[in-house]
Amino acid sequence: MNGVPSPVAGSIALSQTSASQASLPSASLSSDGIAAASVLPPVQLLTGLGLAVAGVVAFSLRPVIIKLAYRYNVDPVTLIMLRMVFALPFFLGMALWSGARKGERGPVSGRDLALTIGLGITGYYAASFCDFLGLRYVSAGMGRLLLFLYPTIVVILSAMFLGKRIGLREVVALVVSYAGVALVVWSEVGTGHPNFMAGAGLVFMGAFLYSVYLVGSSRVVQRIGSMRFTAYAMTAACLCCILQFAVLRPLSALDLPLPVYGLSAVMAVVCTVLPVLMTAEALRRVGPNLVALSGAIGPVAAAVFGYVALAEPMGWLQLAGAALTVAGVMIITLWKTA
């Protein structure tokens, strides 16, 4: 699975991440993929790579914007609801448009619809909420780095539930990735928020839930189409966030400074909707191999944004740990399976 959480976001972005990527959990940068990229027209190659990088960078802004919004004393329940309210019209439009696309027409079975809703709630509502909660206590760069671990979690879950064999390559990648995270955590323990470890645990839980979504979604995507799956899953997640706010908060919680609404709109459009669309178009133009390669920019971009916008520390231990984690994830994401 590539490292764009558009998603993914991705998230991944997410980072994210779009469901187009969810249907490619084992994408690898093989020599065939590199050769195929080398024969693409230059304009198509540059445009596709530009879109992929832009999607990663846009998603990487999300933790920084969340941290900026928290400066206005908005709580996570309200903030994630505002993000989803601004994003919902786009995904409703995407659902209508995808239903008319050639190849994604026709009814969706009740079973596939239920699976899509359940996976959307898991991967886009529950995972995002854990991320929002955790970012109260960890830096933006740390949060993005922990989310970037999701391909390693996918490998473990696939071995446990899908019978996928974990080879030497995966073992090396897991050791390198988590050694990098341990180094970053060790460098920040005692220097950040008193609840730093709880925050890191919440963000990691978000990465785990997003990995569950990826592992569970690939076959559903094949049946109903990637764009329609993403639209339905995101719509379900948006409605969950709105319902959660209606149950847990009074309307007076919306009496917030205007910048909170502006930041929420930016988070919805720039950090959620645009990465989905840009990554989907990049996949169409250059394929998953090169899109996967661009995912390595995510943690670096988040760390730089955090340093510039939030004055977060960026010492050599954080950089070394981030480099190890990115290297480990890239081993899983990009190397051709033996």
Residue 109, φ and ψ in degrees, nearest 5: -65, 155
Query: Amino acid identity of 4?
Result: V
The arithmetic mean of pLDDT across residues 294-315, rounded, is 87
CA-based nearest residue to 138, from 83, 194, 76 = 194
CA-based nearest residue to 8, from 209, 228, 260, 305 = 209
Question: Residue 240 CA to chain centroid, in angstroms?
Answer: 18
pLDDT digits (tens, 9 = 90+) for 314-327: 888 888 988 998 88
Q: Which of 46-60, 253-267, 290-304, 313-327 bottoms out in mean pLDDT, i.e. has the lowest? A: 290-304
pLDDT digits (tens, 9 = 90+) for 259-276: 999 999 999 999 988 988
Taking the C-alpha atoms of residue 2 and residue 83, their distance in angstroms, rounded to an integer, is 25
pLDDT(5) > 80? no
**Are 298 and 15 within 8 A, CB to CB?**
yes
**Are 155 and 166 within 8 A, CB to CB?**
yes
**Are 136 and 199 within 8 A, CB to CB?**
yes
- Cα distances (Å, whole numbers) of residue 270 to 32, 273, 287, 330: 33, 6, 23, 25
Q: Which of 23-37, 58-72, 241-255, 304-318 bottoms out in mean pLDDT, i.e. has the lowest? A: 23-37
pLDDT category at 107 given cuts 50, 70, 90 is confident
CA-based nearest residue to 144, from 329, 333, 332 = 329
The arithmetic mean of pLDDT across residues 44-50, rounded, is 87
Considering the chain, what percentage of its residues have pLDDT values greater than 70? 84
pLDDT category at 335 given cuts 50, 70, 90 is low
CA-based nearest residue to 145, from 331, 335, 327, 21 = 327
